Amino acid sequence: MMAAKNNNSILRGEMLLNEPMRRHTSWRIGGPADRFYKPADIEDLAEFLSQISASEPLTWLGLGSNLLVRDGGIRGTVVATSGLLNSIEQIGDTLIRVEAGVSCAKVARFTTRLSLVGAEFLAGIPGTLGGALAMNAGAFGGETWELVESVETMDHAGLRQKRLPKDYQVGYRSVKGPAGEWFIAANLRLKTGNGELAAERIKALLERRNLTQPTNKPNAGSVFRNPPGDHAARLIESAGLKGYCLGRACVSDKHANFIINTGDATASEVEALISYVAAQVKERFGVCLQREVHIVGDPV
């Protein structure tokens, strides 16, 4: 149970109990979270964190993409940032400040209107900036941390820090930094350029994504990281697994590195399919695929 510290300040956010996580994940899958808190803003988030026990398990949630919540749900508290930590502003000629709840697609569109270029690839990431920072998300050859000049974090006590890229070990879909801190905002450095051409690039990238990915089906983006010198989708397709299903979870016949929910799939079906695909690729090609999707929560 969540133990509160002695603090009389009134929280302004919304607390939901036993909230079904299928309402908040792009796979439309997930058991209930014990507690689900939607902060009103960064100050309210800090106040909330200052009031709860340091032992309270926290799970941070953006748009719920790249995430599989098991059928037994999540113990502790889910902190939802999407649509709440949503400030984005220009703070210098080529510098913007973006809070963690802003969608990556919104960042891409915002920069083109300022005639800033370099963030177009973010339009292809179906998540928030906070999630993109946490995993160095990328698309169409670009990666999030290539743009980062500094980040703002918050710890379990609600204390804020400003940190620089040198404070983190950043790799392919991997970010390691100070323990017990979560991203709440970042300053991104862009380049001046032609905003109209950048907007056209975004349009072309999205058209390409719609042609090659199952954007009309519940999914969580790429399931596996690309192994060095190869593509997970190629290996999965070569293993004959395009369209393969376990229950209502299926490998997309449009893009083999996507697993789709064809209708009321369970997390256990998706997780079993992930394991099966990895095992088949290992058996046939000797390649150990590493998950890009994060799995959280308890089984039933």
For 46, 96, 114, 200, 236, the CA distances from 108, given in Å and listed in that order, are 28, 11, 10, 12, 31
Q: How far apart are CA 106 and CA 132, in angstroms?
A: 13
117 neighbors 190 (Cβ within 8 angstroms): yes
Looking up tokens 């997970």 gives: 232
Q: Cα separation of 140 and 133, whole Å? A: 17
Using alpha carbons, select from 222, 192, 263 the residue that is nearest to residue 29.
263
Any idea which residues carry the catalytic annotation? Answer: 173, 222, 292
- Cβ neighbours around 211 below 10 Å, total: 10
Helix residue ranges, H only, 136-266: 195-212, 232-238
Contact 112, 199 (CB under 8 A): yes
